[in-house]
């Protein structure tokens, strides 16, 4: 599925529901970063802000331009500051929705990265969703819906934005993006971040080279990787390293089959190593599982050093 087609599906479905007076009061747009969740919310708002909506003679393009310039009084966007959404930001949005829309038939409130709401903010929102104000619709975008309060999820309808295909990611990135699409895990945003930052490209490549070096020298103690991850502390960098390693694990599983690789520059070394890994695909699957458990541990515990100390040894290959 392409970025454009999924957005169009969502916008048309919600605009149709609005025209048929069956629009829910709250939606959760859930999916990986860079899959068009905020853009779909903006485009939906533009449709219903137009005089005749999706199926009439309104001017959604003009409304969309105002929304994206943040100049439309009936479109409210609540965004995280330093990766968190404070209670005051949610309270201010709630205060405004107690009044009737100024221009449009309804008001749209978008809470971006809603999983970043602190507990107080989430509870303020919950009280509003329990008794939703008239003429107001809420859209919560998130990359991790399970971090939202269960009671917030139960009072909202979830709209899923699946990962994009590698071809769709490459098309969105343009001519320089094809070689990044395989590692993006369906996220245009993740690929753009790598494409635009030489430092991040270096981190991505260094993570793969170090893990491959440890595999080639296995079963030695992975001291080089442990020293490397000591300097990986930012959340975005942690995720970049994990994606690099997942790509490398996948590459080893398919090396020698002539398929495109995440780390194409390491093909020769991977193919040489794969000769000795025939029939050991379960071991590689277990390593993917270890990375997933590391992510869960990070969400619940937050102790990065303990997490690395657990994860890195599990990524070693058995002889």
Show me where the domains of the chain are located.
3-162, 197-314
Whole-number pLDDT of residue 255: 87
Residue 279 has pLDDT above 90, yes or no: no
Whole-number pLDDT of residue 55: 45
Query: Given pLDDT bands bounded at 50, 70 and 90, which one contains residue 66?
Result: very high
Residue 53 has pLDDT above 50, yes or no: no
Tell me the pLDDT tens digit for each residue of 236-265: 788 889 888 988 998 898 887 888 888 889
Arithmetic mean of pLDDT over the chain: 83
User: Is 253 within 8 Å of 281 (Cβ atoms)?
Assistant: yes
Tell me the pLDDT tens digit for each residue of 129-173: 999 998 999 999 998 888 899 999 999 999 998 765 555 555 554
Query: Given pLDDT bands bounded at 50, 70 and 90, which one contains residue 193?
Result: low
Query: Given pLDDT bands bounded at 50, 70 and 90, which one contains residue 175?
Result: very low
Whole-number pLDDT of residue 201: 77
Query: 64 to each of 13, 39, 55, 110, how far by Cα in Å?
Result: 18, 10, 16, 14
Whole-number pLDDT of residue 7: 83
CB proximity list for 180: less than 8 A, separation 6 or greater: 169, 170, 173, 191, 194, 195
Whole-number pLDDT of residue 3: 52
Q: Which CATH superfamily is domain 3-162 in?
A: P-loop containing nucleotide triphosphate hydrolases (3.40.50.300)
Tell me the pLDDT tens digit for each residue of 1-31: 555 677 888 999 998 998 889 999 999 999 8
**Percentage of the chain with pLDDT > 70?**
82
Whole-number pLDDT of residue 190: 60
Q: What is the DSSP string of the chain?
A: --HHHHHHHHHHHHHHHHHTT---SEEEEE--TTSSHHHHHHHHHHHHHSTT-TTTT--HHHHHHHHHTT--TTEEEE--BTTBB-HHHHHHHHHHHTSPPSSSSSEEEEETTGGGB-HHHHHHHHHHHHSPPTTEEEEEEES-GGGS-HHHHHTSEEEE-PPPPHHHHHHHH-TT-GGGGGGSTT-HHHHHHHHH-HHHHHHHHHHHHHHHHHHHHTTS--HHHHHHHTT--SHHHHHHHHHHHHHHHHHHHHTTTT---TTGGGHHHHHHHHTT-TT-HHHHHHHHHHHHHHHHHHHHT--HHHHHHHHHHHTSPP-
Tell me the pLDDT tens digit for each residue of 229-239: 988 888 778 88
Tell me the pLDDT tens digit for each residue of 301-319: 667 778 888 899 999 887 6
Mean pLDDT of 123-129: 96
Rounded to 5 degrees, what are φ and ψ at 276?
Answer: -95, 5
Q: Pick from 76, 70, 66, 146: which is nearest to 106 by CA?
A: 76
Tokens of 160: 């899923």
Taking the C-alpha atoms of residue 251 and residue 274, their distance in angstroms, rounded to an integer, is 9
User: Is 15 within 8 Å of 127 (Cβ atoms)?
Assistant: no
């Amino acid at each position: 599925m392409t970025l454009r087609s999924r957005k169009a599906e969502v916008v048309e479905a919600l605009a149709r529901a609005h025209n048929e007076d069956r629009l829910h009061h709250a939606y959760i747009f859930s999916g990986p970063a860079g899959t068009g969740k905020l853009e779909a919310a903006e485009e939906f708002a533009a449709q219903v802000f137009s005089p005749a909506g999706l199926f009439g003679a309104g001017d959604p393009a003009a409304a969309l331009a105002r929304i994206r310039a943040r100049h439309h009084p009936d479109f409210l966007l609540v965004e995280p500051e330093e990766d968190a959404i404070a209670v005051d930001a949610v309270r201010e949005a709630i205060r405004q929705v107690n009044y009737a829309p100024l221009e449009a038939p309804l008001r749209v409130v978008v809470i971006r990265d809603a999983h970043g709401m602190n507990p107080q903010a989430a509870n303020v929102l919950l009280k509003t969703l329990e008794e939703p104000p008239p003429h107001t619709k809420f859209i919560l975008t998130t990359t991790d819906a399970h971090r939202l309060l269960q009671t917030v999820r139960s009072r909202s309808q979830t709209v899923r934005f699946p990962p994009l295909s590698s071809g769709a990611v490459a098309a969105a990135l343009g001519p320089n993006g094809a070689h990044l699409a395989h590692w993006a895990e369906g996220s245009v945003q993740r690929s753009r971040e790598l494409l635009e930052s030489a430092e991040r490209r270096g981190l991505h490549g260094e993570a793969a080279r170090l893990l491959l070096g440890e595999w080639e020298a296995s079963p030695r103690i992975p001291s080089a990787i442990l020293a490397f991850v000591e300097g990986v502390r930012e959340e975005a960098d942690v995720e970049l390293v994990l994606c690099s390693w997942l790509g490398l694990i996948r590459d080893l599983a398919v090396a020698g089959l002539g398929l495109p690789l995440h780390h194409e520059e390491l093909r020769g070394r991977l193919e040489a190593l794969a000769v000795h890994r025939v029939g050991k695909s379960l071991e590689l699957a277990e390593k993917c599982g270890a990375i997933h458990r590391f992510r869960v541990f990070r969400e619940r515990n937050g102790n990065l050093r303990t997490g690395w100390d657990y994860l890195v040894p599990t990524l070693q290959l058995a002889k």
